[in-house]
A and B are shown apart, each in its own frame.
Chain A
Amino acid sequence: DADVTQTPRNRITKTGKRIMLECSQTKGHDRMYWYRQDPGLGLRLIYYSFDVKDINKGEISDGYSVSRQAQAKFSLSLESAIPNQTALYFCATSDLKGPQHFGDGTRLSIL
């Protein structure tokens, strides 16, 4: 089983819909992150969490919200999806200084 699992893997939806992307991990890490990847722009940090009661905005948090339901679960929501949020989304985990461990991504298309 994967250490970091993202669901769904693919999603197509319409403008204005609410979307939730889920992430769960078995690494036992306290730190979890959400990124989006766009061609030519690399990875951009949306939100991150250092423990269950900690939520921090990244560089592109507008239009997104997150929930850290447990140490192992971190979900990303788009309250009212818009086409420019079409991207590949990644969840990642890490310990304090170590490398990040990524899920396989969710490909989201907003029509």
Chain B
Amino acid sequence: GNSVTQMEGPVTLSEEAFLTINCTYTATGYPSLFWYVQYPGEGLQLLLKATKADDKGSNKGFEATYRKETTSFHLEKGSVQVSDSAVYFCALSHASGGSYIPTFGRGTSLIVHP
């Protein structure tokens, strides 16, 4: 079946540091890939997405590239801010028996210190 594996947290960084959160997936064919962010006390919200190989999703300074050869969708940001502190979820959506059932990773907590 489909699965998503992302690095365990928490990831602790100083403001303006470079961020990478690794995400790899298992699925047949070409799933759509997503990163969601969850701020404290809120639901998940879509951060970025990519729907085919070599696509780059980007939003709010975050980027992730769909790498079919390595089945990865790593999240990066060049300079994090305190306001980026949140939990980040990698997810995929892929047809399984004709149904597109989403699969989520376990989430990675990011803590950014001033």
On A, residues with C-beta under 8 Å from B are: 4, 33, 40-43, 45, 48, 50, 90, 92, 94, 96-105
A48: chain B residues within 8 A (beta carbon): 101
Q: A48-B101, A96-B100, A97-B32 are in contact. Are A40 and B43 (CB under 8 A)?
A: no
Partner of B43, one of A41, A50, A90, A97: A90
A98: chain B residues within 8 A (beta carbon): 93
Q: List 6 A-B contacts (CB under 8 A).
A: A42-B104, A90-B43, A90-B44, A94-B102, A100-B36, A101-B46
A100-B46, A102-B36 given; name 19 further pairs at CB < 8 Å: A33-B102, A42-B89, A42-B104, A42-B106, A43-B44, A43-B104, A45-B101, A45-B102, A48-B101, A92-B43, A92-B44, A97-B32, A99-B46, A99-B49, A99-B93, A100-B91, A101-B46, A104-B41, A105-B42
Q: How many Å from the CB of B97 to the closest CB on chain A?
A: 11
Q: A50-B99, A97-B100, A99-B34 are in contact. Are A43 and B43 (CB under 8 A)?
A: no
B99: chain A residues within 8 A (beta carbon): 50
A94: chain B residues within 8 A (beta carbon): 93, 102
Identify which of residues 8-61 in chain B touch chain A, using a CB-to-CB cut-off of 8 Å.
Answer: 32, 34, 36, 41-46, 49, 51
B91: chain A residues within 8 A (beta carbon): 100
B46: chain A residues within 8 A (beta carbon): 99-101
